[in-house]
Structure 1
Amino acid sequence: MNVPATFCAIDFGTSNSAIAVPGRNGRMALVDVENGQTTMPTAVFYQVEGRSAHEPPLSLYGRAALAAYIEGHEGRLMRSMKSVLGSSLVDRQTEVGGGHAVKYLDVVGGYLQHLKTLAERSAGAPLREAVLGRPVYFVDDEPQRDQQAQDALEAAARAVGFTEVSFQFEPIAAALDYEITTDREELVLVADIGGGTSDFSLVRVGPQRRERLDRREDILANHGVHVAGTDFDRQVELATILPTCGYRGLGPARPGAAPREVPSRVYFDLATWHLINTVYSAPRVHELRQMRSFYGDPFQHARLMTVVEEHLGHALLAQAEAAKIAVAEGGSTAIDLGLLERGLAASLDETRAVDALEAELQRIVTALRETLQAAGIGPEQVDVLYLTGGSTGFAPLVQRLEAAVPGARAIHGDRQASVAQGLGLHAQRLHGAVQG
């Protein structure tokens, strides 16, 4: 009698997530998490519409969460929850509407519980062991906070019923996913550029190495920076959309003095997924209303108030994200801002996007070079540049990464699923022999 395996692998990503379980053929398989899709947006919508005061909000996940928000249902959208790990927000509560509040860590736990439920349905058995992916650094240059972030994610996983939790670096998982495709030993530089972090790992792979459970001697270097897709979204919105609402706008002209730039904090908060809702608090809205005299252009202030009073922050940032994707392979796109004002629009092309993202792109390429330096490896010694993560769809970034290791073959993995598939391989090697 075959005993169902009780382990899984979870890629809990900033933008998208996936979970893998042992399949009927003994190999790990990604679970259908949403209408035939094996990856799902890392998003939760707490819907309070239609719920009585004593009923908890209805929790929706992934594409269903985004759809409920776009359709205008009353409630609270949560995205980029992974960015909260390692911050002071993780143990705080946040309002979700209808007089209800939830801890940020419970938001993470609820999402993991949803993935676990879907996976158990697919596996036909309770899941007890989990391998979770983690970035090289949750928090740059702060080891204590970085450990706190991993501890918080482990606590969330244990709270939903996993009794054994282990971690694997996400770029290492991507290397494992690539390794099964090669028939010779190679030196692979994995570039995992996701929603929240850009991670690099220099790994020796090959058919003689792939069955080893302990791969520490094959990992020549790990490095990463907390810069990636959500930072791209922020800079695109600041460059294209938020100037219409007063970002970098000037105050009224005064005799004998140059106009002063209006305060910018609100715009940075509106351009950061997990901070948007802080702008909607009653004291903050009241403060912004009182700042009308700070603006030389009254229309800019009026549009800002439309954003905060009608809770349009997530919708605008989603438009910035869509614009970034639209120009990722070149060309240009128009951004319809009719929800702020009839006929209002902005535009984005590749040149403007690169200008807006220059500092972020430089930091990512610098991290690649620092990875090689840490390993004592020259760029010419790298055989393969393995690209994974959603942000590797941005062509100007990929061109810079390729230029940094000009002799390497650039291979694109599955941008959304390579890490999850590699985590599945690691989980099978870690737990499969015990349970098989």
Structure 2
Amino acid sequence: MSRLFPGLDFGTTNSTLALCAPGGAPELLAVEDEHRTIPSALFFSLEDGRTYFGRQAVFEYVDGAEGRFMRALKSILGTSLMKETTQVGRERMTFEDLVGRFLSNLRRRLEREAESHGVDTDSIVLGRPVRFVDESDEADAAAQGQLESAARAQGFRHIEFQYEPVAAALYYESTVDREQLAMVVDIGGGTSDFSILRLSPERARAPDRSGDILGTTGVHVGGTDFDRLLNIAKMQPLLGLGSATADGKRRMPVWYFNDMATWHRINTLYTAKILADIRALKKEAGEPAKLGAMEHMLLHRSGHRLAGAVERAKIALSNEAAVPIALHEPGLALDALATREEFEGATTELVSRIEGSIEAALRLAGVASGEIETVILTGGGAQVPAVKSAATKRFPDARIALSDAFGSVGLGLGLDAARRFG
């Protein structure tokens, strides 16, 4: 039996785990029931004391179970939040512990597979964005160190990292029949990465591909940022964003609403102090009903339910000109209509940053846009029409390869693991 080696794509929104034998084809492992992706989410139940993962975590939270919901933990790596602790049930946990708790679930799935299929559970190739943190090399290095530490705490002894866009290219390369230059556009949940690589069947067999990576850049923009700006534009005004005090002298502080629209910040609002702040603002507000809706959001911990409704609308806007966004629960009814034009207007700055990073990758590689023969699109955010247009308009003659939006990085990491450890 050929030994299998694992690659793990720990994503902001979804995660995958792939296995590959040396010289073989990688396969995604079913990581949640029959599903080959798992939402990167945890729910700590105060009702039964259990920790739920993935879709089950989302279900428990949306179903109204009492507990703590965590999502988009990857976005916290390298930030100041990693130095803090947060209350989870009766204990306080570091965010590195929380990342480790999620990885432990995937580790258990790997160990079950090892019993019958000869999986090497000591070794792992982890994906990483080109940039965890844009503005600081020190913070970016710290982010990788934190992810490595969390993985090592779960029992992995030999840990290697591969850039996520490079992993996507490695998987695509198995289908090419001649040498070519490719631009990989990986729009993930929290980051966007761009790499220019030289691909060929012969080069695919080389153990070290560093010389074929001609240029790689990244920016801390991803799918959750598009969610956040759509949320701020269409839903947060219903909770009081932009409204004034009754005397008209000042407007509501914006940071409460910005945090309510940001996946990994929502849980930080669920404190007695924040609730007291909103109740005090409600008394001064010119539109107290809106602050009352915000009060409800805090009391019933509805932030992620609203964020989920916004995310679904964002996805629908890829195919529709206008979609409703709604959150209805006892005591609360929020309704808005979002158009694609409004969405693209709200996210212009994000698309501009993506375009700038693509230009930077071309300059770094010393490659003209006309030399790119294939553009490989991966990641859920690449399905957004404005993003897809920004990623492809410089390359009118290139082939556009739409890879598995959520699986190509994991498959490439599995292939890389087999080459490194096999």
Distance 1:159 1:286 in 2: 39
Partner SS state of residue 47, structure 2:
coil
Return the letter of the residue paired with 2:52: L
Q: Say if 2:185 is the partner of 1:202.
A: no
Among candidates 103, 110, 118, match of residue 119 of structure 1: 110
Distance 1:25 1:135 in 2: 26
Q: Say if 2:202 is the partner of 1:214.
A: no
Aligned to 2:81: 89
Return the letter of the residue paired with 1:119: L
Deviations 1:67-98 (A, max 9, x none): 1111111111110010111012223221123x
Distance 1:387 1:330 in 2: 21
Distance 1:35 1:330, change over 3 A: same
Among candidates 27, 31, 34, match of residue 33 of structure 1: 31
TM-score (ref. length: structure 2): 0.96
Partner SS state of residue 210, structure 1:
helix
Measured after TM superposition, the shift of residue 229 of structure 1 is 0.4
Q: Say if 2:63 is the partner of 1:71.
A: yes
CA RMSD, aligned part only? 1.7
Measured after TM superposition, the shift of residue 339 of structure 1 is 2.7
Measured after TM superposition, the shift of residue 402 of structure 1 is 1.2
Aligned to 2:97: 106
Return the letter of the residue paired with 1:108: V
Higher relative contact order, chain-length normalized (CA < 8 Å, sep 6+): 2
Distance 1:42 1:122 in 2: 21
* Contact 2:22–2:419 (8 Å) recurs in 1: no
1:284-363 alignment runs, 5 A limit? 284-339=274-329, 344-363=334-353
Distance 1:201 1:263 in 2: 40
Give unpaired runs (5+ residues) of structure 1.
51-56
Aligned to 1:54: none
Return the letter of the residue paired with 1:132: L
Measured after TM superposition, the shift of residue 116 of structure 1 is 1.3
* Contact 2:164–2:186 (8 Å) recurs in 1: yes
- Range with bigger deviation, 163-172 or 18-27: 18-27
Percent identical: 38
Aligned to 1:431: 421
Q: How many pairs align?
A: 419
* Contact 2:78–2:140 (8 Å) recurs in 1: yes
- Range with bigger deviation, 408-417 or 288-297: 288-297
Give unpaired runs (5+ residues) of structure 2.
none
* Contact 1:379–1:406 (8 Å) recurs in 2: no
Distance 1:247 1:396 in 2: 26
Aligned to 1:53: none
Q: What stretches of structure 1 move > 6 A for 4+ residues in a row?
A: none
Among candidates 12, 17, 25, match of residue 19 of structure 1: 17
Aligned to 1:189: 183
Partner SS state of residue 178, structure 1:
helix
Among candidates 332, 354, 373, match of residue 364 of structure 1: 354
- Range with bigger deviation, 389-398 or 14-23: 14-23
Return the letter of the residue paired with 2:164: E
Return the letter of the residue paired with 1:72: G
- Range with bigger deviation, 21-30 or 240-249: 21-30
Distance 2:258 2:326 in 1: 21
* Contact 1:365–1:404 (8 Å) recurs in 2: no
Aligned to 1:377: 367
Measured after TM superposition, the shift of residue 208 of structure 1 is 1.4
Measured after TM superposition, the shift of residue 396 of structure 1 is 2.0
* Contact 1:245–1:300 (8 Å) recurs in 2: yes
Deviations 1:373-429 (A, max 9, x none): 111111111111100001111122101211122222111000000000111111111
Distance 1:421 1:399 in 2: 26
Distance 1:328 1:138, change over 3 A: same
Q: Say if 2:397 is the partner of 1:407.
A: yes
Measured after TM superposition, the shift of residue 113 of structure 1 is 1.2
Distance 1:206 1:242, change over 3 A: same
Deviations 1:303-353 (A, max 9, x none): 111111111111111111111011122322112232375654111121111
* Contact 1:329–1:393 (8 Å) recurs in 2: no
Partner SS state of residue 361, structure 2:
helix
Deviations 1:151-196 (A, max 9, x none): 0100011100001101000000011011011101110000000100
Q: Say if 2:260 is the partner of 1:270.
A: yes
Partner SS state of residue 337, structure 1:
strand
TM-score (ref. length: structure 1): 0.93
